[in-house]
Amino acid sequence: MNTPVAPSVDVIIPVYNSPELTKRCIDSAVTVLGQSIRTIYIQDDASDTETCAMLDQLRYQQLHVYHAPENQGFGKSINDAVARSDADLVLVLNSDTEIHENFLPLLCEAFAADPELAVISPTQDNFSQSKLECYQRRPGGYIATYRFQGYAFLIRRTLFVTIGGFDAQFGRGYFEDTDLGRRLIRHGWRMGVHPDACIHHAGGASFGRGRSYRLLAKRNRALYLSRYPEAHRNILLVSGPYTLADLSVQLKDSIEQVLRQGGGIHWLTPLPLPQLSCLQMRNSSASIKMAIKLMLRGQSRADKRISAVWILPDAPILLRTLLVFFARVRKLEIRKWEAGQFESAQRLSDSQQDLSEKPVLKQVTTKQNPD
């Protein structure tokens, strides 16, 4: 029996200033990843003198440093570096990340287990592992995501090139990764985050958090949402003690459509849900306080606001009344679902609540409030 050949992996690190963080990133990639990688391509995007000098003094054999004559932006820098590689997979690292463990075997196993997986990321080490426990795992151990974040990711190189890489219209950065993710989803590929693989990400080192950052983020957010207006959709779903397995095929398909288009689902339930399908699904207690908090969020950002309220059977009456009132005042879509015939369903454990009598849900009315 032939032993599968391990895929070849090159590392790409786009650099713009921040010499100390950048050196930590490079040192960690060389030290921790070691023989798991071939070449590390450093794409310097016209950094300051101190950063350029630091890069030129590095003597790692695996390192190839390229200095761009002018600043091209995050996406274009990565596109140029990927063009120099001929590896099966490329691992792209923000220069403000730092590797403490070799997560490449885990990420490569996910690719081997799922031929439709396009890109996978390690989790950031400041993300609570307990928050990831409720998410379903796909073959290869990863959690599905419909929103690609480019702080660190492993991607099929030929796919990245074929789909056009990052769009240079996003300039220095922000939302170019989200845009690439939308294109991958539209072409039928999957994306994932591996909860057992972690990386440290300082965040904001290249752009800071000042006025220029806010203007850049605002500009690129508007560009992204102009291309994918359906990504505005944020559904507030409220129900009695149901789980994903209790939902009808029709309702599951409606949820999946929202997620695939870049939207989000926030599900309010009496008890914590044992499983959620992807990272864009959130679950909170079905309380008045939480409902008000969600309905009031996103005052300055339309892509964060609740855009529709979906009401399932056995939702608390007071909460149901409040959400209908909010939705009507704001002229939001309201969908109401009622109990249908029981199909196969998985219940919460007895330690939480006996749901054996709860039926599968079917939509019976769809209401769009008048203007």
- CA atoms of 165 and 183, how far apart (whole Å): 10
CATH number for region 230-368: 3.40.50
199: left (phi over 0), alpha (psi -120 to 50) or beta: beta
- Say which residue, 115 or 216, is predicted with more confidence: 115
pLDDT computed for residue 367 by the predictor: 43
Quick check: 349 pLDDT over 80? Answer: no
247-297 pLDDT, tens digit per residue, is 889 899 999 999 999 999 999 999 899 899 999 999 999 999 999 999 998
- Say which residue, 108 or 207, is predicted with more confidence: 108
SS3 category, 201: strand
Mean pLDDT, residues 306-319 taken together: 94
Long-range contacts of 225-231, Cβ-Cβ distance < 8 Å, separation of 24 or more:
225/302, 225/303, 227/179, 227/182, 228/179, 228/182, 228/261, 228/262, 230/261, 230/262, 230/263, 231/182, 231/261, 231/262, 231/263, 231/303
Residue extents of the structural domains in the chain: 9-227, 230-368
pLDDT computed for residue 208 by the predictor: 56
151-191 pLDDT, tens digit per residue, is 999 999 999 999 999 999 998 888 999 999 999 999 999 99
Domains 9-227 and 230-368 share a fold: no
Q: Band of the pLDDT at 357, cuts 50, 70, 90?
A: very low
Q: Band of the pLDDT at 347, cuts 50, 70, 90?
A: very low
- CA atoms of 217 and 227, how far apart (whole Å): 15
- CA atoms of 120 and 129, how far apart (whole Å): 17
Fold of 9-227: Spore Coat Polysaccharide Biosynthesis Protein SpsA; Chain A (3.90.550)
22-80 pLDDT, tens digit per residue, is 999 999 999 999 889 999 999 999 999 999 999 999 999 999 999 999 999 999 999 99
